[in-house]
């Protein structure tokens, strides 16, 4: 039974006739030039737009907001565009992760404090997606996500360049002296050729795909290339759909359940997705009140192979993925594993959304029996070095390093590590395990993407391109290598990582999901009793608030005051 206009949330602001506050609200719409017929009895749709001049991944979102508005008007809604914090992965320092929860709070409060009946969420650059979804879940009104979409392929001398991955790759080649300054400058110009997000399977592409698998987008929306005209049509269609969703009262709580999260994890694993997705999905699930533990990622990773042959795990880029059939076709390959009866914002099931989709290129989207990697991309390791878990993108590591024992080379801080790896006289071999501490949720703070520690210069020159690296940091989804990340609990709060010393032997066994520090328990206890917490890196303002409230990586790094599913009362009208 559809809602009646008097049941709209916005009715209290705009619909009540004999009311001084409603008089004020309506008079200010007239002030802007709207007529009563523009809004009376219509769902008010907030278009939460993370466009910004400083976010090149979102350059097109102003235009997309207009296209969403067109759809909202067509369907009989009243659109209002609301700017929100743009988390520009390229420019925000030390890390956009520090600000994910801030955008999540802003999204939630933008919706809650204003007369919105539904929300269209515009974003895509890395942390923007989880932040928007987290906020919308907590706000509880119907919401649909319009992913920014990936940019076009990079191009250099007739070859293809991929965001992030080829930056790291050619930076090491430059350090090794195999390319020169002119080559490097040409790469700089050719690697980002259009608006849209990174086009490798980084955090952006991963989280856009995850959002679709959760049921938060129209079918196929997440893989449409940003510069393709289909992207604008998808934005308008999302505008039309959100109006219907409001009348149907199709809230996130009615879309999301344990099946949706399993679908999202399976898709993320089979895409060879970013390790960041683990943290974001944990946070999203907590917001939605769906029980989810880090171990579920490992269980599901053993159930599906990596089928997307996309960099950094594979060869192709998101533009190829789109032409190969995109996310709908990709999910048909996983269909036997997915909960096809899970609900989506379309008002239909996931299975109905992918019905009839076809894979057009088996090299890009591999057949189930011819995978890129036999298991899902993300493994969860545990052991005395990470009692609450650590994450590794095993599909993007050199296979010889998946079982390894070597001496630690430990660093207390990023600056210490960054200076050391450039030293020609550094006492290091390819068998060493590089360890970085104090880069976790509180220690970073915000878990900067420092987890792909640079290979020491003298080893790069000797041809080494991968070695085992361990930290409580994250790494970019476009990064690669034998990097063990998100070690929990983090060093800054006295997790075992804090007690690693140079020369300690460390064992990694990915098949056994084991991460072991080969130091006797009594020696570790001695080191623990002598340990003191380092001073905070950010002692005032938002950084201090963040460090005081952020949870650990295995809990999703949400704030302790935000990850509680709870319905707050509607605002009073004064
Ligand atoms: Fe925006 Fe990579 S910098 S998605």
Q: How far apart are CA 77 and CA 240, in angstroms?
A: 8
Does ligand 1 have an atom closer than 6 angstroms to the CB of 197? yes
Q: Domain range spanning residue 177?
A: 160-190
4 within some domain: no
Report the atom number in ligand 1 closest to the C-alpha of 476: 2
Which of 54, 89, 208 most suits a substitution to test ligand 1, by most atoms within 8 Å of the C-beta?
89
With beta carbons less than 8 A apart as the criterion, state whether 208 and 8 touch. no
- Assigned token pair, 84: 């929100």
Residues 317 and 383 in one domain: no
34 CA from centroid of ligand 1 (Å): 37
Predicted confidence at residue 284, as pLDDT, reads: 97
Q: How far apart are CA 562 and CA 383, in angstroms?
A: 30
How does pLDDT run along the chain (574 residues), one tens digit per residue?
789 999 999 999 999 998 899 999 999 999 999 999 999 999 999 999 999 999 999 999 999 999 999 999 999 999 999 999 999 999 999 899 999 999 999 999 999 999 999 999 999 999 999 999 999 999 999 999 999 999 999 999 999 999 988 898 899 899 889 999 999 999 999 999 999 999 999 999 999 999 999 999 999 999 999 999 999 999 999 999 999 999 999 999 999 999 999 999 999 999 999 999 999 999 999 999 999 999 999 999 999 999 999 998 899 999 999 999 999 999 999 999 999 999 999 999 999 999 999 999 999 999 999 999 998 878 999 999 999 999 998 888 999 999 999 999 999 999 999 999 999 999 999 999 999 999 999 999 999 999 999 999 999 999 999 999 999 999 987 778 999 999 999 999 999 999 999 999 999 999 999 999 999 999 999 999 999 999 988 889 999 999 999 999 999 999 999 877 677 788 888 8
The number of folded domains in the chain is 3
Query: Looking at ligand 1, which residue's alpha carbon is closest to its atom 2?
Result: 198
160 CA from centroid of ligand 1 (Å): 18
Among 209, 207, 215, which Cα is nearest to 343's? Answer: 215
Q: How far apart are CA 51 and CA 110, in angstroms?
A: 16
Does ligand 1 have an atom closer than 6 angstroms to the CB of 478? no
Residues 405 and 528 in one domain: yes
With beta carbons less than 8 A apart as the criterion, state whether 469 and 433 touch. yes
Report the atom number in ligand 1 closest to the C-alpha of 57: 1
Taking the alpha carbons of 321, 322, 325, 327 in that order, is the dihedral positive or negative? Answer: positive
543 within some domain: no
Residues 518 and 397 in one domain: yes
Does ligand 1 have an atom closer than 6 angstroms to the CB of 90? yes
Q: Would you list the DSSP string of 155-177?
A: EETTEEE-TTHHHHHHHHHHHHT
With beta carbons less than 8 A apart as the criterion, state whether 66 and 105 touch. no
Among 277, 252, 534, 311, which Cα is nearest to 416's? Answer: 534
**What number of other Cβ atoms are within 10 A of residue 185's Cβ?**
10
Residues 60 and 98 in one domain: yes
Residues 113 and 146 in one domain: yes
Residues 101 and 136 in one domain: yes
Residues 143 and 233 in one domain: yes
Predicted confidence at residue 2, as pLDDT, reads: 87
13 within some domain: no
Tell me how far CA of residue 368 lies from CA of 67, 223, 264, 315, 336, in angstroms: 37, 20, 18, 17, 10
317 CA from centroid of ligand 1 (Å): 14
Does ligand 1 have an atom closer than 6 angstroms to the CB of 198? yes
122 CA from centroid of ligand 1 (Å): 14
Residues 180 and 200 in one domain: no
570 within some domain: no
E strand or H helix that includes residue 352: helix 350-354
Residues 185 and 276 in one domain: no
327 within some domain: yes
Q: What is the pTM of this model?
A: 0.96
Predicted confidence at residue 174, as pLDDT, reads: 92
- Is it true that the peptide bond before 50 is cis, omega within 30 degrees of 0? no
∠ Cα 229 141 552 (to 5°):
90
Predicted confidence at residue 313, as pLDDT, reads: 85
86-111: burial string, b at 16+ Cβ within 10 Å, e else: bbbbeebebbbbbbbbbbbbbbbebb
In the block, residue with structure tokens 């990773």? 301
34 within some domain: no
Predicted confidence at residue 572, as pLDDT, reads: 86
Q: How far apart are CA 369 and CA 374, in angstroms?
A: 9
The answer for residues whose C-beta is within 8 angstroms of residue 566's C-beta and 6 or more apart is: none
Tell me how far CA of residue 273 lies from CA of 378, 397, 460, 561, in angstroms: 8, 13, 27, 29
Q: Which residues pair with 434 in a beta bridge?
A: 409, 469
559 within some domain: no
Residues 177 and 218 in one domain: no
CATH number of the domain where residue 506 is located: 3.50.30.80
Residues 224 and 270 in one domain: yes
Residues 113 and 173 in one domain: no
500 within some domain: yes
Predicted confidence at residue 8, as pLDDT, reads: 97
């Amino acid at each position: 039974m559809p809602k009646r206009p008097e049941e709209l949330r916005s009715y209290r602001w705009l619909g009540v006739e004999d009311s001084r506050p409603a008089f004020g609200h309506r008079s200010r719409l007239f002030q802007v030039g709207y007529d009563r017929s523009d809004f009376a009895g219509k769902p008010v749709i907030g278009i939460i737009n993370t466009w910004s001049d400083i976010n090149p991944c979102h350059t097109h979102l102003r235009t997309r907001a207009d296209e969403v508005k067109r759809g909202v008007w067509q369907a009989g809604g009243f659109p209002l565009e609301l700017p929100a914090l743009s988390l520009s992965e390229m420019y925000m320092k030390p890390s956009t992760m520090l600000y994910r929860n801030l955008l999540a709070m802003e999204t939630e409060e933008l919706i809650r404090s204003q007369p919105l009946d539904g929300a269209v969420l515009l974003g895509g650059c890395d942390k923007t997606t989880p932040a928007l979804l987290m906020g919308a879940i907590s706000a509880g009104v119907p919401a649909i996500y319009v992913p920014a979409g990936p940019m076009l392929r990079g191009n250099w001398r007739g070859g293809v360049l991929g965001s992030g991955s080829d930056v790291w790759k050619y930076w090491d080649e430059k350090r090794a002296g195999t390319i020169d300054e002119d080559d490097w400058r040409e790469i700089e110009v050719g690697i980002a050729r259009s608006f849209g997000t990174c086009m490798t399977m980084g955090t952006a592409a991963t989280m856009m795909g995850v959002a679709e698998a959760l049921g938060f987008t129209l079918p196929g929306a997440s893989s449409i290339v940003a510069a393709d005209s289909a992207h604008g049509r998808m934005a308008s269609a999302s505008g039309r759909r959100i109006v219907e969703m409001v009348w149907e009262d199709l809230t996130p709580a009615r879309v999301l359940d344990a099946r949706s999260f399993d679908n999202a994890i399976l898709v993320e694993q089979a895409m060879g997705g970013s390790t960041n997705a683990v943290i974001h999905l944990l946070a999203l699930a907590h917001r939605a009140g769906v029980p989810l533990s880090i171990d579920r990622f490992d269980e599901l990773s053993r159930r599906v192979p990596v089928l997307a042959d996309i960099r950094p795990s594979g060869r192709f880029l998101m533009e190829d993925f789109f032409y190969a059939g995109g996310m709908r076709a990709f999910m048909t390959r996983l269909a036997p594993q997915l909960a096809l009866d899970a609900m989506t914002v379309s008002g239909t099931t996931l299975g109905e959304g992918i019905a009839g989709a076809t894979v057009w290129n088996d090299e890009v989207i591999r057949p189930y029996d011819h995978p890129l990697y036999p298991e899902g991309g993300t493994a969860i390791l545990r052991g005395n070095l990470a009692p609450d878990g650590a994450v590794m993108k095993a599909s993007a590591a050199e296979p010889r390093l998946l079982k390894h024992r070597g001496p630690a080379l430990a660093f207390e801080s990023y600056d210490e590590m960054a200076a050391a790896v450039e030293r020609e006289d550094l006492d290091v071999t390819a068998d060493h395990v590089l360890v970085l501490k104090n880069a976790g949720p509180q220690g970073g703070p915000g878990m900067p993407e420092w987890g792909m520690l640079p290979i020491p210069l003298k080893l790069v020159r000797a041809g080494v391109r991968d070695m085992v690296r361990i930290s409580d940091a994250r790494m970019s989804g476009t990064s690669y290598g034998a990097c063990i990340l998100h070690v929990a609990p983090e060093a800054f709060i006295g997790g075992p990582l804090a007690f690693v010393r140079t020369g300690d032997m460390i064992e990694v066994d990915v098949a056994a999901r084991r991460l072991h520090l080969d130091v006797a328990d009594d020696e570790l206890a001695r080191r623990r009793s002598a340990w003191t917490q380092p001073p905070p890196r950010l002692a005032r303002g938002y950084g201090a608030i963040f460090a005081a409230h952020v949870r650990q990586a295995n809990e999703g790094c949400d704030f302790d005051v935000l990850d509680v599913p709870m319905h707050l009362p509607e605002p009073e009208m004064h």
